[in-house]
Structure 1
Amino acid sequence: MHESCGHCGQNNLMTQLRTNYWIVLGNAIVKTVIRECLVCRRLSRHPVVQVMAELPSDQLCPDEPPFTNTGSDCFGPFLVKQGRSTVKRWGAIFTCLTSRAVHLEVIDTMEQDSFVNAIRRFVARRGPIKRMWSGNGTNIVTMERELREALQCFNEGEIRDILSIRGAEWNFHPPHASHFSGTTDETLCTLFCEVEAVVNSQPLTKINDNLNCPAPLTPNMILTFKGSPDPFTSTCKKGMYVKR
């Protein structure tokens, strides 16, 4: 279950298990499974512990709808098949600064128009926003030179104007201020949606061994007023090749 949920954390794993099973001393067993998982041990290592500044006011608006204040960033590229050719695709991530929910979009090219279209799709599906925070080009966390150079070519003024028409404000993070973010083509789109669902299933509250403990709150509950979807990812390589 831990692997099928994308190597999720303790609260998330306990939440998924509770939908079908009641395990005696489940938290202790879950901690052991995660502690002995080599993938999690490798991914959870941090070279340094950064001292966080105070949270911006945009992250402390509990009465606003999800994605009213949003952070955005780009990542990639990914190589995908298109007919007989191999083309590059990028990703755009939008995160709600209050609920920590995420929304993922596939970007065909790292041109400004493609990024603006991703914003338009995001607003169409998630509703209007008031403020958008974005990495400032060279400050984006990536080792991809191509991505950094493409982001530097974006006309910040034009993007601001497009969003201002919709009543939204565009802001760029100051340099080195990491606390401001906190945080085939069809197959790639599907993967992004599945990753989005896994991240949005992460519990925001603790779960304990009390039988009467309510289900923990997740970003998916805030977005859909429903629970998180069942695990759907697979670590088996069978069926991952060619057109399958």
Structure 2
Amino acid sequence: MRDYKWLNEYCLNRFGSAAALESILPQPSSPEELRAISDDRYLSVLSLRIFRAGLKHSLVDAKWPAFEEVFFGFDPEKVVLMGAERLESLMQDARIIRHLGKLKSVPRNAQFILDVRQEKGSFGALIADWPITDIVGLWKFLAKQGSQLGGLSAPRFLRMVGKDTFIPSDDMVAALKAQKIIDKPPTSQKDRVAVQAAFNQWHAESGRPLCQLSVMLAHTVNH
């Protein structure tokens, strides 16, 4: 495994300057900003991520105002009361994407958010306080407790709300393979722990957020 010094120098050579490199790197939200996001907004983004999976994002985004309307602004206390009959009726609404499995995930995730609120005070508190040194643990928690949050949905949702995370995209997986950290996409907990350890080392060496390290690493793959 290469150290951060190599990663930084590689990216500086590729982009030509520190300013050019910084311009393409994401900036995570602070814990205070994450805590300030309301539960209805977390449910909206969570649902948006689920509906985007496997579909053109612009198509889903264009329909999202209609989703906001039919799901009561994603107020979890209202959404959780939506029964099977109500969800079946939404299958006749041409303004939204009519995928029953994904529609059913919305009230289930509303209940998930309410359960977290009861324990933590808000869903934002859970997201804000989870240590980035175990971000794969948060992926696992979201996938296990939430609905339709397996695969890359949990890390992509976290990136969407601003929580610092790496995302095992195809390029990042190729880069991790090149550095002999993993030999296949990190779907097992063992491989995810190995990737987390590598990112923790780069983070300790650089002070950079995981999301920036993730993008830098992906750019070490030649196209």
TM-score (norm 1): 0.27
Give the TM-score, by structure 2 length.
0.28
- Structure with the larger helix share: 2
**Greater RCO, 1 or 2 (C-alpha within 8 Å, sep 6+):** 2
